[in-house]
Amino acid sequence: MTTIDGSQPQPHGGISSRCVREQALMAGRLADPALLDQAVEIKLGKDEAADTCLAVPLGGHRVAGEVTVSGWSQALHVLLALDGRPGFPDVRDGALQGSPIDAPRTVRWGLGTRLEEPSQRAQMWGYHEAGVRAYVVEQTREDARVPVTPMPEMPASPTVARIHDLLIGGGKDSYQADRQFVACLPHDDAQALSLTAVINRMHLPGVVAHLTAQGIDQFLDLGCGMQSTHGMPRKNSPTEALHAIVARYRDNARVVYADHDRRLLGSFNIWAEGHPLEPEWVQGDIRYMEQFLSSGRVQYLLDWSRPIGVLLHDVLPWIDNDKTVTTALAVLREQLPPGSALSVTHAADLGENRMMRFTAAFRKAGIAFKPRDAAAIQALFGDWPLEPPGLVPTHRWHPGHPHAELAPHMAGALAGLAFKPENNP
Ligand SMILES: C[S@@+](CC[C@H](N)C(=O)[O-])C[C@H]1O[C@@H](n2cnc3c(N)ncnc32)[C@H](O)[C@@H]1O
């Protein structure tokens, strides 16, 4: 058995009592107890004393597995520990839509079918006959419930994702630090920043309409941000999620969200679970594009033999190193299959809307922010030809944008979209 703390393999220490219990239980029920040799003990917190749980890989008759933990924070430890690990395909959080963040959550891997019958579930987990019977008895007991210990969240500094959600009218998950950041901006600046964020979000439906019309049915939203969790966002509102928009055009599309901020996974699960498109969330850092794209989960979730629509909406300004951005985009362009699309929105100084004026305020809050000029933004597409109307203020890209009538400078950003030419290897 291996012991894991988050994503870092650790030298094997003492096994927690929960883990010992689970190991004994599985040893008595698995048709192939040798699977326990490859089982993983996962630490469910950063503290020395954090509890651990046991994850057993697939093999033989075992075609699915799961562990139940108390809250999304613990689930995150499990997801990060198992992501891309042999024997744990398609690791996912199975929380129901609307589940509170501190409610118990089950992380699953392998076969996706949810079986109601306890005996069928136990067979799917690779239990032998007596093990199946024991599980069925356990499930029919009155007290067959998992104990819950809510995990407190103590956010001290503002984050781009939460500020952005606040600016577009969400903000249910914002904290004092995020609200304070916005409150400290001069009133007109706060309004201007909010408008740029709304214009950016309302660009999404036009992009999706264009991409789906061109046959794109796989979407990778890099730097996807936070989605407000206060009820279901209204259609055509800035808080409407990508997968909800895509679903208007395709009922079988694949939508994969990625962000480097792992704290977003909890809110993602709340609003995405149960949606027919079954969108997925992957932790990924654009600065390490090569590692991200080659990770098992990204390779597994998307079909790399067909075109993929990649969205980089208002994410690159938050990476201030030009070389890092240039390299990441070069890797992305090279690895995407021909016919794939790249949709970018990027903060830029337009006329009197000097987005650069926000750089110092963000820096003070520990957040890098770098608007770029049109030439630098255009270069992100390499030699891919831009679709009409080219690189333009975001609300002028699609004629259906609800703010298309506003003056160009109010977007505070430029938008462009390009397809990878078919003859471009
Ligand atoms: C302003 S939000 C944009 C959200 C969304 N794309 C949209 O258009 O509404 C920027 C997002 O980029 C994410 N981000 C910043 N740097 C990143 C990086 N290096 N890799 C991945 N995501 C990043 C932030 O966590 C944040 O969620």
Q: What local confidence, expressed as pLDDT, does residue 206 receive?
A: 97
Percent of the chain with pLDDT over 70: 86
CA 236/CA 249 separation, integer angstroms: 14
Average pLDDT over residues 241-270: 87
Any atom of ligand 1 within 6 Å of the Cβ of 203:
no
Considering 13-17, 32-36, 210-214, 264-268, the range whose residues carry the highest mean pLDDT is: 210-214
User: How far lies 294's CA from each of 77, 288, 315, 320, 332, in Å?
Assistant: 21, 10, 20, 24, 11
Q: Is the pLDDT of residue 232 over 80?
A: no
Any atom of ligand 1 within 6 Å of the Cβ of 200:
yes
CB contact at 8 A, 219 and 245:
no
Q: Which residues pair with 239 in a beta bridge?
A: none
Q: Is residue 425 part of a domain?
A: no
Q: Are strands 92-93 and 52-55 parallel, antiparallel or unpaired?
A: unpaired
pLDDT digits (tens, 9 = 90+) for 395-417: 999 999 999 999 999 999 999 99
Q: Is the pLDDT of residue 209 over 90?
A: yes
**pTM of the shown model:** 0.68
Average pLDDT over residues 63-81: 88
Q: Using CB atoms within 10 A of its CB, is residue 129 exposed (0-12), middle (13-18) or buried (19+)?
A: exposed
Give 144-160 as a 3 state SS string: CCCCCCCCCCCCCCCCH
Q: Using CB atoms within 10 A of its CB, is residue 269 exposed (0-12), middle (13-18) or buried (19+)?
A: buried
Q: What local confidence, expressed as pLDDT, does residue 7 receive?
A: 40
Q: Is the pLDDT of residue 73 over 80?
A: yes
pLDDT digits (tens, 9 = 90+) for 107-117: 999 887 766 67
DSSP E strand boundaries for 44-124: 52-55, 64-70, 92-93, 104-110
Is the pLDDT higher at 323 or at 2? 323
Q: Is the pLDDT of residue 311 over 80?
A: yes
* Per-residue pLDDT band at 172 (split at 50, 70, 90): low
Q: Do 132 and 169 lie in a common domain?
A: no
Q: Do 121 and 172 lie in a common domain?
A: no
Q: Do 116 and 181 lie in a common domain?
A: no
If you ran DSSP here, which 8-state letter would residue 415 be given? E
CB contact at 8 A, 220 and 253:
no
Question: How many structural domains does the chain have?
Answer: 2
Percent of the chain with pLDDT over 90: 50
Helix then strand count (H, E) for the chain reads 15, 14
Q: What local confidence, expressed as pLDDT, does residue 68 receive?
A: 85
Any atom of ligand 1 within 6 Å of the Cβ of 315:
yes
Q: Do 255 and 176 lie in a common domain?
A: yes
Any atom of ligand 1 within 6 Å of the Cβ of 362:
no
* CA-based nearest residue to 150, from 8, 44, 6: 44
Q: Which of 259, 298, 329 to mutate to test the pocket of ligand 1 (most atoms within 8 A of CB)?
A: 259
Q: Is residue 153 part of a domain?
A: no
Q: Which of 157, 160, 291 to mutate to test the pocket of ligand 1 (most atoms within 8 A of CB)?
A: 160
* Per-residue pLDDT band at 155 (split at 50, 70, 90): low
Q: Is the pLDDT of residue 226 over 70?
A: yes
Q: Is residue 150 part of a domain?
A: no
Q: Do 230 and 281 lie in a common domain?
A: yes
Q: Which of 200, 221, 260 to mutate to test the pocket of ligand 1 (most atoms within 8 A of CB)?
A: 260
Q: Is the pLDDT of residue 104 over 50?
A: yes
Q: Is the pLDDT of residue 143 over 50?
A: no
Ligand 1 atom nearest to CA at 203: 8
Average pLDDT over residues 136-162: 56
Q: Is the pLDDT of residue 142 over 60?
A: no
Q: Is the pLDDT of residue 133 over 90?
A: no
Q: Which of 287, 318, 358, 417 to mutate to test the pocket of ligand 1 (most atoms within 8 A of CB)?
A: 318
Q: What local confidence, expressed as pLDDT, does residue 150 receive?
A: 31
Any atom of ligand 1 within 6 Å of the Cβ of 225:
yes
CATH number at residue 381: 3.40.50.150
Q: Do 89 and 231 lie in a common domain?
A: no
CA 386/CA 379 separation, integer angstroms: 11
Å from CA of 227 to ligand 1 middle: 12
Q: Is residue 72 part of a domain?
A: yes
Q: Do 183 and 97 lie in a common domain?
A: no
Any atom of ligand 1 within 6 Å of the Cβ of 164:
yes
For 39, phi then psi, to 5°, come to: -65, 160
Q: What local confidence, expressed as pLDDT, does residue 152 receive?
A: 33
Å from CA of 259 to ligand 1 middle: 6
Q: Do 217 and 180 lie in a common domain?
A: yes
Q: Decide which of 111, 140, 169 is a domain's last residue.
A: 140
Q: Do 305 and 402 lie in a common domain?
A: yes
Residue type at 130? A
CB atoms within 10 A of CB 262: 16
Sheet holding 309-313, edge to edge: 280-283, 254-259, 218-222, 309-313, 341-347, 413-419, 392-393
Å from CA of 218 to ligand 1 middle: 19
Any atom of ligand 1 within 6 Å of the Cβ of 286:
yes
Q: Sign of torsion, CA 47 159 357 380?
A: positive
Any atom of ligand 1 within 6 Å of the Cβ of 415:
no
User: How far lies 392's CA from each of 317, 377, 399, in Å?
Assistant: 17, 11, 12
Is the pLDDT higher at 298 or at 141? 298
Domain span at residue 124 reads 2-140
> Out of 108-112, 271-275, 347-351, 401-405, which region has the weakest mean confidence (pLDDT)?
271-275
Tokens of 137: 């008895």
